[in-house]
Amino acid sequence: MRCSWAESGGSVGEPPAGPAPGAFARAWAKALSGTSYLPMTHAQLEALLQRLTDQLAEALRTEPLDLRAGHRVASELVAAHIASAEALGRTVEVIQLRLVRDLDLVADDTADRMARLLAAIATGYARALRDRTLDEQEAIRRATLTARADAERALRASEARFRHQATHDPLTDLPNRTLFAERLAAVLDGSTSGVHRVGLCFLDIDRFKRINDSYGHQIGDRALVAAAHRLSRAVEPHLVARLGGDAFVILVERSTGTGDVLAVAESALAALAEPVLVGGHDCTVTASVGIVERRVADTSPDDLMRAAGSTLHWAKTAGGAGWAMYDAERDEREQARQALSAAIPGGLERGEFYLDYQPLTSLQDGSVLGVEALVRWRHPQLGVLSPDSFIGLAEETGLIVPLGAWVLAEACREAVGWSTATGEPPYVSVNLAVRQLRRPGLVQEVRSLLRRTGLPPNRLQLEITESMMMGGAEEPVRTLRALADLGVRIAIDDFGTGYSNLAYLRDLPVTELKVAGEFVRGLRAPEAADERILASLVSLAHALDLTVTAEGVETVGQAERLRAIGCDAGQGWHFGRPAPADHILARIR
Amino acid sequence: MQRPDWAPETIDVERPSVARMYDYYLGGSHNFAVDRAAAQAMVAAVPEAPLMAQANRAFLRRAVQFLTNAGIRQFLDIGSGIPTVGNVHEIAQRHAPDSRVVYVDVDPVAVAHSREILAGTEGATVVQEDLRHPERILAHPDVRANLDFSQPVAVLVVAVLHFVGDHDRPAEVLRTLRAALAPGSHLVLSQASDDGRSDAERAEAQKVYQRTDSPLWVRSRAELTAFFDGFELVDPGVVWVPQWRPETPDSAEDAERAVFLGGVGRLGG
């Protein structure tokens, strides 16, 4: 019985049902007041007690005495929350003192019947109270267990939720880098049984930024979610994780060979290639995938991810919308390049770079007009490296800026000490990279270099390539003018192989053209096209007041022809290989 | 790993619970030895404690009857405690069966018990929340589902405000609740007061409740009256609870022994 919430009779605001309470019921109600909380009005209490009084009177009058009436009255009292020890005491007292008198129930055996009735009331009351107590104790214990179970369930749920949040990407709800790393580590440390080979597809959506830029990030995010869902459906049951941005990775456990992983990559690419509309915009994308597949025993998570990253890069540089398969040799080559590039700053610091010079020789009188500075790297492990093996890298990484600055400074420092027995010492010609030219402060750098070393400006020549003038940017042109204003010579390197726009020859403060060696190589055959081109170039240059130096002159025959054409100077093995400055100066003296 | 802020508390039945102590004062058996020990210590300090609880419970009954007579059909009973004799939905639904009651308590055991008792009961539900976070109560989906705040609601904050310390800004809590109510809504407040108490009694009572899950903050009549800011106090204002619309004149005698001050306010407009 739910005693504590039981209805307690009577209605709010309505007169209590039943006959008006008599003197006894009123006395009883007064005796009970204050014994415990009674969830009813005083009138309701009196009405209840009048009903119970009637039952007691009926029992006392009836032969034989029905003791169950006493039990019933007691139960009703307890059920109506008149359920305290004090209430029982007062009830026994008031019945004993007043019931017989107030209701005029005197008979021969009244004392005897009253004693038995009171005993029945006390017994029934104690029994009902005990049951109620036990019920309530049970209820509160049950509530405690329920509350505890609820709390534990909620804790587990929140832990699970927390775990989910910690291991999933909030945008796409795909596993995140953390979960992917856990799974990959589990596969590779052998704790996932039966896995001998593993594959990764490192996937990146091509030019995804364009969607964000064209339609806004909201559409971009929705497109990403759509892509993520298609991706995970397409490659089920393999784990797809979002690594951030538009990069995903698919973990192929239990691979039996590259074919398995390739199939997964192709499914992924096919799923992504399907047309997608987001908010009315065409958000169809393509993707690039780098595929790596290996024996579990031969790899580590870092290794695998690095290889997958490199392979993805190959797929990207191949134009995207496709996959690339890992190639160990290619990777090794690239890694070696990478390592070499990373070693440049240290090499600069430790003084591992030095300069050789190659003479630029006058075709008229054989004198050395200038020398071209050529950087060398005395690599501690790899020996002396020529510029071909590291200048490209340095240009990619931007390390060309500090390296180029060092070359420029070193060339000026050495050149200022050169002297010759007769005439002017040779000028020094230094290559200038695009990044150097585009960087603000070059003019200032050259100016202070000249001041510091004391090298006369006309003994410094800066070689730029035609490609630097492409795009018509104003800034490099202004820089070149400022450099020319300092009195520095400007030469166009490798002229004739690239842009060869004649307009800038008119506008730029150029002093010399260096004609690419491939024209010179063609001079072996008489009256060849190359010779006519060279002749035209020379007359064009002279018309513009420029001198011409031919590169790659290897034979006396070539030198002769060039001189005949009117070319001013030559550079190449015929005139001298690159060598330390001392050697060249010794020859001049 | 940091524990997330939505992780629930554990259930500690080794500490006395004010909800179960209150049940004990009212003569119930929904309590454990630790609750009874604390309640008995309270009675030793303040012998009227059971009387206080009874008087407060009777005040709640009269207030709900008053509100149903005033046409209120929605009740938000915050700090409802252990469901015991004479709960709000019983009182209200006896007169108006369409009355809806949402009980709110912070005690998970009280809530679990309420939930079991209320299973299958129309128009009454319970949510576990803390009076100190009224915005969470107001936003709770079960509260929203059962109460229509465009219609008058009676908010009952009965015998619970003395567990909200000043640092928890009870006035602000009540302001937040008030802001959610439609004109014609009511606020029922009662709380323990130390008006007219000796210092020794105050200290003793404080000591008992420091051991429970909710220490006691007694307040003066002026403070309680100030909590009705924005409401029009219904006659007779803030009084000792037995004096609030008593059924018989003598039941209001020795009213200050009840320790609880109470009142009902109406939101005009």
CATH number, position A100: 1.10.490
Helix axes A42-61, A23-32, angle to 10 degrees: 120
Q: Residue range A213-225: average pLDDT?
A: 91
Q: Does the pLDDT value for residue A533 go beyond 80?
A: yes
Whether A390 and A317 map to the same domain: the answer is no
Q: pLDDT by residue (tens digit) across A354-370? A: 999 999 999 999 999 99
**Is A162 within a domain?**
no
Whether A213 and A99 map to the same domain: the answer is no
Q: How far is A29 from chain B (nearest CA, A)?
A: 13
Q: Which residues of A209-241 are buried (b: 16+ CB within 10 A; e: fewer)?
A: eebbeebeeebbebbbbbbbebbbebbeebbbb
The domain in which residue A376 lies consists of 341-588
CB atoms within 10 A of CB A293: 25
**Is B123 within a domain?**
yes
Whether A293 and A349 map to the same domain: the answer is no
Q: Does the pLDDT value for residue A565 go beyond 60?
A: yes
Q: Residue range B143-148: average pLDDT?
A: 96
Dihedral angle, C-alpha B80, B81, B83, B87, nearest 10 ° = -30
Q: Count the domains in chain B.
A: 1
**Is B208 within a domain?**
yes
Measured CA to CA, the distance from residue B58 to residue A38 in angstroms comes to 8
- DSSP character at residue A175: B
Q: Does the pLDDT value for residue B2 go beyond 50?
A: no
pLDDT at position A11, please? 39
Last residue in a domain, options A140, A162, A197: A140
Q: Residue range A380-407: average pLDDT?
A: 92
Whether A512 and A379 map to the same domain: the answer is yes
**Is A160 within a domain?**
no
Neighbouring residues of A577: CB distance < 8 A, sequence distance ≥ 6: A358
Which B residues, 30 through 49, put their C-beta within 8 Å of a C-beta on chain A?
30-32
The domain in which residue B200 lies consists of 18-219+256-266
Whether A355 and A246 map to the same domain: the answer is no
Chain B interface mutation, best of A1, A3, A5, highest count of B Cβ atoms under 10 Å: A5
Distances (CA, A) of A196 to A187, A193, A227, A368, A378: 9, 9, 30, 68, 45
Whether A317 and A345 map to the same domain: the answer is no
Whether A350 and A383 map to the same domain: the answer is yes
Which pair of structure tokens corresponds to residue B220? 């003066």
Contact B57 A37 (CB under 8 A): yes
Whether A69 and A187 map to the same domain: the answer is no
Q: Does the pLDDT value for residue A5 go beyond 50?
A: no
CATH code at position A280? 3.30.70.270
The DSSP H or E segment spanning A353 is strand A353-362
Mean pLDDT of chain A: 89
Last residue in a domain, options A94, A116, A140: A140
Percent of chain A with pLDDT over 70: 94
pLDDT at position B263, please? 97
Please classify residue A99 by burial: count the beta carbons closer than 10 Å to its beta carbon, then call 0-12 exposed, 13-18 middle and 19+ buried: buried
Q: Count the domains in chain A.
A: 3
**Is B2 within a domain?**
no
Which neighbouring-strand residues pair with A371? A359, A428
Whether residue B7 lies within 8 A of chain A, CB to CB, comes out as yes
Contact B27 A13 (CB under 8 A): no
CB pairs under 8 A between A and B: 127
What does residue B30 show for φ and ψ, rounded to 5 degrees? -85, 60
Percent of chain B with pLDDT over 90: 62
**Is B238 within a domain?**
no
Q: Does the pLDDT value for residue A589 go beyond 70?
A: no
The DSSP H or E segment spanning B63 is helix B49-69
Nearest to B218 by CA among B200, B206, B233: B206
Whether A311 and A381 map to the same domain: the answer is no
Whether A199 and A316 map to the same domain: the answer is yes
**Is B9 within a domain?**
no
Chain B interface mutation, best of A7, A12, A167, highest count of B Cβ atoms under 10 Å: A12
Last residue in a domain, options A294, A326, A358: A326
Whether A105 and A218 map to the same domain: the answer is no
CATH code at position B105? 3.40.50.150
Q: pLDDT by residue (tens digit) across A314-357? A: 999 999 889 999 999 999 988 888 899 999 999 999 999 999 99
- The residue assigned the tokens 């202004």 is A478
* ipTM (interface predicted TM): 0.84
**Is B6 within a domain?**
no
pLDDT at position A238, please? 94
Parallel, antiparallel, or unpaired for β B239-240 and A247-252?
unpaired
Give me the half-sphere count of Cα atoms (radius 13 Å) on the Cβ side of residue A45.
23
Q: Least CB-CB distance to B94: which of A11, A34, A154? A: A11
Q: pLDDT by residue (tens digit) across B226-244? A: 999 999 999 999 999 999 9
Contact A4 B251 (CB under 8 A): no
Nearest to A449 by CA among A432, A426, A464: A432
Degrees to nearest 5, angle at CA B224 with B75 and B177: 40
pLDDT at position A468, please? 75
**Is B243 within a domain?**
no
**Is B70 within a domain?**
yes
Q: Least CB-CB distance to B11: which of A40, A132, A148? A: A148
